[in-house]
Structure 1
């Protein structure tokens, strides 16, 4: 259910925009109503578009898709009807942010705004309007589900009861995870290197102003923001709060798309910026990012300093935690003894200090893989979250080998599993009860199904 109605993905939106007319042409019939749920209709094209979307994503159907999909859409309609009763709506700003994220992803998929518009046969502005309602409904469904399921509070006894009810074969496997502490140091970059970068950006500005080349061409060739460079430096519509403060200040002060900003310094490096379009508190710009390079000699000196620091920690002259607090340039971990926090949203350990090896930065994972608990590494270079080259040392605080879940090591994992199961039970019961009191009519060609819920087929004659 969640995958069909709550998952926000590019392919879904593109199919909604493109495949409707194709589906009608292929079937050589006018679109038709196949289900009615309350006062909402489910069209044959709705089912077909969802089927194509899932097929492209590689999802498999455990049964007939023409039975599974309309039932899932019908369930979604029930949640939306409840939202009307409860007066649940989503702030426009939240919807707008998600629309922009999806537009930017779509542009990234095809290469440019122009290519996207050519492919869809419509403007990006029109595309935004089409996606707004789709995204709004998805967000509303999530809010309704939260309200129905409520704040689930489970006691440790309930978690243990669930755990003991599982056979050994049914226990989830917990992959190997580690806890890692880190100290980073940024090498000193000489002013002559900074000046060289600024001069290169000023040369680009001169070439653009003289008409020798376009901003997007230079961004594609030279910008060190590799993702936006593929799109000619275009970032897509972004709110001020989502931009680096210095970048936002310069970008929002631009009023003429033919004018290029002065060189702007942010924590990511140095930029020049071109305005594309502004809509209220959101702005779409192109930029070229250059990062001053760390000279080999400065990198060598920094590595030497960090190796000396590691030796002093191993000799117990001071603790890793103390060194992190006073030396580390990593502000996110500096105040908690250097302990890294997992920020990967898709990870089951998100928000904790545990990492599966695949969730660690590649350079850190390569070092940690060979370490024993308590070891402090030698110094190594890596690229931090801001895209800057730093020197780091790490300490392996804990390693928990892959294993079948147990209550002593994996209480939080088991708690999450039980809460998810409880939430699913509550929502399933709500849906089953809602079906009993809702007008539902299904076309006779679509009723011979083994539905997940009972009561869909009613005598409405």
Structure 2
């Protein structure tokens, strides 16, 4: 990963470590750069440096020159976002945070281990992730607006490839294609009824004015991020909400009323209208999710064992089973074949994955498999944070190699597109520096910066 990406993602994509610059010699902290109306502190730079050292990231140059410059570039993009009124909805930020938290839980094995490793409670960890993940998403949207759509012809890709010397050809890591079948453990009706009854109790308390909706959301909602705001999601369009929630929310007209219980992929909600503005709506909600008993998880694993036996006996194909049985709707509609949705990957939008792009539990299983082999059942968290039982089949593997157009056209296309995007963005940054107030502490000026014009 480049230093620029590390600077942009240092909190949101690697394990968190709290770093506070302690008072030494009566100096608590120091402003080293000012970009527009934003200050860049020495502790900011030390924090990134520490993270990169822990990741064993190699510095090609002085980190006290590289890191502040890249953080300054980040602030230029955030400043532009303010000018363009680019914002990320609170609900979308919450979803990003939950995906990242689930990813980390999958890596270390449990919520308890994650808290022990990070020295933070889950609430503290979510709060720490919230701002950097929001900023990173805002930066990506600013960049996309600056760059626009880059379209390349096949001849441009071929020309770029043929102009490269053999020594300059990129090294392509091992990639795999994976098919998956998942089963959701059954949740007893009694557990679902208990959740619904609790939500009905909340509705009754709100209607009788014994408690406010926001207070109950703060105390009991399992959407941790919105619960901190009394369940409020902020103004959102219909497309930003899951369909079941959107349908119920946009039917509300009276802020004093509470919706009926709404079931979505996340669990069960009750919703209250706050305000409507055209095609955007602000609501608050309380989310409760039924819990899967351990016994049901065992039963589901046993069913998947039976399914695996039938697949090995060739009673039907893996693709047929995925299409008709799998609970994973994305891969089910693709005959079980997983699609890479990592926007930072050269294979985004394709069925090819580098190991690091796969869900952690899947990559651990697939790593030792042969092409055509099926795994034993294993548990994993799906995209909604629900525990499921899965089996996977390794459909294909391309071992690490020097790039060639026959196998790596998509990668070469991504490389050329990335180069063109980088050229556009570098020019934008260089122009932005000229029109932005920038002041650098004298002790931090002696650097060979990537961009000119920082020192004015």
- TM-score scaled by length of structure 1: 0.62
Residue 364 of structure 1 aligns with which residue? 362
1:351 lines up with 2:339 in the alignment: no
Partner Cα distance (1:373, 1:306) in 2: 21
Q: 1:395 Cα shift?
A: 0.9
Q: What is the 5 A alignment of 1:63-74? A: none
Judged with a 3 Å threshold, the aligned counterparts in structure 2 of structure 1 residues 353 and 211 are, in CA distance, closer, same or farther, namely same
Partner Cα distance (1:266, 1:258) in 2: 23
SS at structure 2 position matched to 1:198: helix
Structure 1, unmatched stretches of 5+, are: 12-25, 27-42, 81-88, 117-130
Residue 281 of structure 2 aligns with which residue? 282
Q: 1:215 Cα shift?
A: 3.8
Partner Cα distance (1:373, 1:271) in 2: 43
Judged with a 3 Å threshold, the aligned counterparts in structure 2 of structure 1 residues 457 and 53 are, in CA distance, closer, same or farther, namely closer
SS at structure 2 position matched to 1:353: coil
Partner Cα distance (2:3, 2:356) in 1: 25
Residue 85 of structure 1 aligns with which residue? none
Q: What is the 5 A alignment of 1:429-444? A: none
1:166 lines up with 2:168 in the alignment: yes
Partner Cα distance (1:178, 1:97) in 2: 33
1:326 lines up with 2:316 in the alignment: no
SS at structure 1 position matched to 2:345: coil
Partner Cα distance (2:329, 2:144) in 1: 34
Deviations 1:190-222 (A, max 9, x none): 544432321121122234445555544544554
Residue 40 of structure 1 aligns with which residue? none
Aligned counterpart in structure 1 of residue 226 of structure 2, from 228, 251, 254: 228
- TM-score scaled by length of structure 2: 0.63
1:406 lines up with 2:403 in the alignment: yes
Q: What is the 5 A alignment of 1:3-14? A: none
Residue 335 of structure 1 aligns with which residue? 333
Partner Cα distance (2:388, 2:64) in 1: 54
Q: What is the 5 A alignment of 1:33-432? A: 46=36, 49=39, 55=45, 58=48, 62=62, 95=86, 97=88, 142-146=144-148, 151-153=151-153, 154-162=156-164, 164-166=166-168, 171-172=170-171, 174=173, 176-210=174-208, 213-280=211-278, 281-291=280-290, 293=292, 296-297=295-296, 299-401=297-399, 403=400, 405-407=402-404, 409-425=407-423
Q: 1:300 Cα shift?
A: 4.3
Partner Cα distance (2:213, 2:436) in 1: 56
SS at structure 1 position matched to 2:36: helix
SS at structure 2 position matched to 1:234: coil
Q: 1:143 Cα shift?
A: 3.9
SS at structure 2 position matched to 1:178: strand
CA RMSD of aligned residues (A): 5.4
Residue 19 of structure 2 aligns with which residue? none
* Cα pair 2:311 2:318 within 8 Å, conserved: yes
Q: 1:182 Cα shift?
A: 0.8
Partner Cα distance (2:365, 2:159) in 1: 40
Judged with a 3 Å threshold, the aligned counterparts in structure 2 of structure 1 residues 301 and 331 are, in CA distance, closer, same or farther, namely same
Partner Cα distance (2:250, 2:375) in 1: 45
Judged with a 3 Å threshold, the aligned counterparts in structure 2 of structure 1 residues 327 and 312 are, in CA distance, closer, same or farther, namely same
Judged with a 3 Å threshold, the aligned counterparts in structure 2 of structure 1 residues 242 and 52 are, in CA distance, closer, same or farther, namely farther
Q: 1:427 Cα shift?
A: 6.7
Count of aligned positions: 388
Partner Cα distance (1:439, 1:271) in 2: 48
Structure 2, unmatched stretches of 5+, are: 13-26, 28-32, 50-58, 102-121, 128-133
Q: 1:340 Cα shift?
A: 0.8
Judged with a 3 Å threshold, the aligned counterparts in structure 2 of structure 1 residues 344 and 231 are, in CA distance, closer, same or farther, namely farther
